Amino acid sequence: MEENKNSNESTNFIKSFQTLKIEILKEKKILHVQLNRPDRLNALNDTLFTEIHKLFSNMHLITTSEDIRVIVISGNGKAFTSGLDLNSNIAQNILTIKSNTEIDSGRKAFFLYMEIKKLQDSLTAIESCHLPTIAAIHGFCLGGGVSLLGCIDIKIAHKNAKFSIKEVDIGLTADLGALQRLVKQTGKEGLIKKYSLTGEIFTAEDALKAGIIEEVVEKEEDALKTAFSLGERIAEKSPVVTWGVKRMINYSRDNSVASSLDMVATLNSALIQSDDIVETLQNILLKKKAAYPKL
């Protein structure tokens, strides 16, 4: 009875999204999430930001009833995403606050700060999600789309994909995480400065050399195939361990080596008590594939 209730809740939750297309691939243990505004090249509007936050902050509403181990993120239509939708309520809210003569500059700054933080939190929800994430990129990945990539664990792109940290061309400092995350992730401060200061388009090969993405594929359809194949390999591992790996790498990026070593010792002192280690060792001896329960 409880299982049916959870399943219904999961189904209703998935159906509630307008700008995300969500599919459960049960055999692969993968959740496929598509940015779903193809008529706008998946431009990021207020609804899409809100729904990204809603999905990734409430992933338990799906994983309670479904055995999901990995999330693959792609774009429906001709592009991954063309970046911020300048015709959306986001841009209108900013202009309304800027032009409001009834409030002083300090209060304008506060309201704009809160708007920006809300958008940042939407993307950070992807990074904070306990499941490993893989992006399959084709077409354009511009502006806020590059910031979105910084929150995804592994990125695979079609060779003809085009990237740009484009905010400089509309009079903004990129403020959704690209500057902060990419410098730390790639270790290439000068190159990220170059792309951020010029807004220039760069190729998938450029992104690969910069460390912004991990793999380039020849055919457009191979980006998604490769993401699914990689996702299946990860899904075979202990979900407790994959959560631990993601958590520790993200923690280590933002903290000292000493603090990170202490954190992983604390983490593993708990994870070692999981039945997954027994399952792993037994099946190594039996030369069988381990079967781990879902989280």
The Cα 28–Cα 144 span in angstroms is 29
pLDDT of residue 1: 57
C-alpha pair distances (Å), 46 with each of 35, 52, 53, 71, 85: 13, 10, 11, 22, 9
Q: Checking DSSP bridges between strand 20-25 and strand 30-35, what pairing results, if any?
A: antiparallel
Range scoring the smallest mean pLDDT among 106-110, 128-132, 143-147, 291-295: 291-295
Distance of CA 40 to the CA centre of its chain: 20
pLDDT at 25 over 70: yes
| Interval 179-202: pLDDT, tens | 999 999 999 999 999 999 999 999
The two beta strands, 154-158 and 215-217, are: parallel
pLDDT at 8: 85
Domains of the chain are: 2-235 (3.90.226.10), 239-286 (1.10.12.10)
What global pTM score does this model have? Answer: 0.94
Question: Alpha-carbon distance 266 to 271, whole Å?
Answer: 9
How big is the chain by its Cα radius of gyration, in Å? Answer: 20
Q: What is the DSSP pairing of strand 30-35 with strand 140-142?
A: unpaired
